[in-house]
Structure 1
């Protein structure tokens, strides 16, 4: 008869009495102790769950498969989504490649998926001092900050009874789903990447918010929507990838109802730092390359573009210390740990097995980001605006 394993002191199946240590004891079918078994206070007590060796082996194997399958949500999506057919190749600057896992730069998201839900949220988040940053809550804090300001403007406008929100470049739907669950909004998301639109729809169905939250493919610079069709519009961190930000702002103003509210978050370039020297210009170019971003607007250029789009800027903030400064610190820690060759090689093998990511690609991404962030070259801005009422 196969041996039996009794749970230790820290086991979820423990009773009111336990062992003198947190080790485990194996007994054979007759109840005799094995030679190498630790000495317990009690061999068995009523109600204790005992596992056979075979079952214990299966439990360990199941746990191993659970760890391996943690990456299958991504990998299965990669194989079955429309993006697998529509985007078989990638090129630098191609946002489809990065967000469809066809681009080596996407390995950063696989790496971060160990701590956060990168299949739902793609923003860098928002954390005040003392708040843990590498967690899904950091994404929700950024969404809440934008949504609270947006709904405050909405409450002062003429469309208080209309709670429809347009999410421009909606990514994988996490922000739209949260807007529905927390604020009760009816959300329409538009994204140009087939994988994102497909993944967001699956997330909405899985979390039972569909059809109140819907997603479709569309170009953010040529929205397939009529003019003045939404009282609320937002875009969270996606404008960085747009090749023409002023066109995006004009499109947002076009689909926004008069009196409607608009908010967005985006990365910003500090021009005097980025253009200070040839070395800085190269660092800035490397930052854009690893993030597949064509260019970045500055804080002042965005303010001018908002006014030129026919919107009234009501509030703007630079919150770099609440996200990018934290990201820069984490990048520095990552790079310091990477100096140890044995640790780097060991973790590279683990990461490949755990998520399928190539640590060399992650290192390149982190290094380019850290070089730009430590110079104060990149800021992070939040903007809230309204569309004036027609006269």
Structure 2
């Protein structure tokens, strides 16, 4: 488990997404997650939707089900899933900026709550399935992340998790110059390995159904983001002010863009898609 030298908190995660709200939406769009390129010819919008489709397929959805989106961002993923499968979704986010946009979306099948997943107060055994797309990384207490998922799921319910993971056989420089700074700059309290996640889920009473290492499918995301960010410095005054303002505590995430590109290229960081079921 990679742990940054500076401890990260849920409050720090919320500030990160509130401060960088404009940058996330203008540089990448309404989905706060990677794209998934199967052929390499997909546009970024097609690739982000393709990752949503990967999650949908693994959830094995049926009309009338109730789902939980753990870390729902702006709600775009939840609304797309709800519309395509006639399901109801409750999403949780720490960010006030994300909550405002998510709840402004016209959908009778989606509700966004600004709430810490580790203290979610949701009823036990009340959801047919749950998913977390790149949000488990932000959890301070990862064992509790899995225990809460198991608690709110009905027997037979599925949990799909897309996660940034530490690679195997890491070299010291990869930890020091890539993964530890990525955790610190991205407000990740820790970054686990595939083995860490599988053990924590098993301990919580979840059985692994499937795993995909999708690193090669998603890594193009950060090259596109870095290119778009570089262009925006010349063309977008708002983003330029955001990047240059000393009052923005989270502008150091800019440094993680090249780190993420290199970490995914070298294998220091992996991108995993897990599927678990509650017995």
Q: 1:179 to 1:328 in 2, by over 3 A?
A: closer
Q: State whether structure 2 residue 272 is matched by structure 1 residue 381.
A: yes
Deviation at 1:268, TM superposition (A): 0.5
- Inter-partner Cα distance in structure 1 for 2:254 and 2:140: 26
What residue is the counterpart of 1:313 in the other structure? 208
Q: State whether structure 2 residue 77 is matched by structure 1 residue 175.
A: yes
TM-score scaled by structure 2? Answer: 0.84
Deviation at 1:354, TM superposition (A): 6.9
Q: 1:354 to 1:219 in 2, by over 3 A?
A: closer
Contact 1:290 1:368 in 2 (8 A): no
Which residue of 233, 238, 257 maps to 1:348? 233
Contact 2:13 2:94 in 1 (8 A): no
What residue is the counterpart of 2:24 in the other structure? 109
Equivalent residues in 2 for 1:248-259, closer than 5 Å: 248-259=145-156
- Inter-partner Cα distance in structure 1 for 2:97 and 2:47: 24
Contact 2:233 2:239 in 1 (8 A): no
Which residue of 221, 239, 257 maps to 1:327? 221
Higher helix share: 2
Give the number of equivalent residue pairs: 265
Deviation at 1:286, TM superposition (A): 1.3
- Computed over aligned residues only, the root mean square deviation of the Cα atoms, in angstroms, reads 2.8
Q: 1:347 to 1:162 in 2, by over 3 A?
A: closer
Stretches (4+) displaced over 6 A: none
What residue is the counterpart of 2:47 in the other structure? 138
- Inter-partner Cα distance in structure 1 for 2:272 and 2:139: 16
Deviation at 1:330, TM superposition (A): 4.3
Q: 1:373 to 1:130 in 2, by over 3 A?
A: closer
Q: State whether structure 2 residue 259 is matched by structure 1 residue 368.
A: yes
- Inter-partner Cα distance in structure 1 for 2:195 and 2:276: 15
Q: 1:350 to 1:228 in 2, by over 3 A?
A: same
Contact 2:194 2:272 in 1 (8 A): yes
Q: 1:257 to 1:364 in 2, by over 3 A?
A: same
What residue is the counterpart of 1:28 in the other structure? none
If asked which structure has higher relative contact order (CA below 8 Å, sep 6+), I would say: 2
Higher strand share: 2
Q: 1:176 to 1:182 in 2, by over 3 A?
A: same
- Inter-partner Cα distance in structure 2 for 1:322 and 1:236: 15
Deviation at 1:195, TM superposition (A): 2.1
Q: 1:291 to 1:129 in 2, by over 3 A?
A: same
TM-score scaled by structure 1? Answer: 0.61
Contact 2:124 2:153 in 1 (8 A): yes
Structure label with greater radius of gyration: 1
Contact 2:68 2:127 in 1 (8 A): yes
Q: State whether structure 2 residue 96 is matched by structure 1 residue 96.
A: no
What residue is the counterpart of 1:26 in the other structure? none
Contact 2:64 2:86 in 1 (8 A): no
Q: 1:328 to 1:191 in 2, by over 3 A?
A: closer
Deviation at 1:272, TM superposition (A): 2.0
Gaps of 5+ in 2: 1-6, 246-250
Gaps of 5+ in 1: 1-90, 155-159, 339-343
What residue is the counterpart of 2:190 in the other structure? 295
Contact 1:107 1:358 in 2 (8 A): no
Contact 2:34 2:218 in 1 (8 A): yes
